[in-house]
Amino acid sequence: MASLRDIRKHISSVKSIKQITYAMKMVAAARIKKAQNSILASRPFARQMDRLIADLARELGEDDLAGTLACDLFRERPAGGTLGLLLVTADKGLCGSFNTNLLKAAAAWLRENRGRKVRVVVVGRKGRDFLKRLKGLDLQVELELVGIFPKVSYAHAQLLADQLAGIYADRSVESVTLIYNEFKSMMVQRVVTDRLLPLQAHILGEGGKGAPASDFSFEPGKKELLTALLPRHLGAQLYRTLLESQAAELAARMSAMESASKNASDLIEGLTLKMNKTRQAMITTELNEIVSGAEALGG
């Protein structure tokens, strides 16, 4: 049976852990509101950019786009080439299954494309460390972006956009896939695996619900406008992705730390009960010894 000293030390250590988990929960709770507001502000802009690009792309034929950046980003490429991957994870743990689910999705994607060369851009230490541990795969890490959460800025998104556009400019790259966690609610985060480039399937699937582009006059022209908007569009989509991941991580951490604090409280309650029972048993034993000694002396 554990001694009273051991139980007291155990209770003290659990209380210390509870203080840490509770503090982490409160920090995440303080930051989540700002992160939610950032997402709510970025989503309409990103969706409207989708619609605008889709409208412009539908107005222009392949001949109109020939030789432009738009043609390069929209055109489907022959299968069998190099693949691109953007993996967005957290920098730290203690956020439940947030990173685990992302890394499982990334591992599944890599298994599906085993034997293909993959050029990777990774955000977050957890993703970087995961890729470094992998053996037997033809992976080339183009960019590691760590330490940006929870202070994501548009500059980070533009850096990613420039790097991915540079990778995709290499005609041997077939497509670029994006894996990240989307913020659904305080309790739910959804792992998203989406094809970022080429844009055609994504844009024509998501956009085109607004007014037809033919209802407007363009100056200097649709082709020039589309070419100028595409880099900004890519940056806006990646900025929304980073904000989604940031909010999802904070929500997951808050939920995990709340659960950990509750478990610590339950454990402290159980250990306190155990300590009281142990102390009672010790007192009862001592009383029995005293009574037995008194009876022996009286006899």
Enzyme catalytic residues: 95
Cβ neighbours of residue 257 under 8 Å, at least 6 residues apart?
Answer: 21, 22, 24, 25, 28, 94
Peptide bond into 220 cis (omega under 30): yes
Secondary structure percentages of the chain, helix, strand, coil, to 5: 65, 15, 20
Find where tokens 């001592």 sit. Answer: 286
Q: Quote the CA–CA distance of 191 and 140 in Å, as a whole number.
A: 23
Give the CA dihedral 144, 148, 153, 157, nearest 10 degrees: 20
Give the CA dihedral 127, 133, 135, 140, nearest 10 degrees: 40
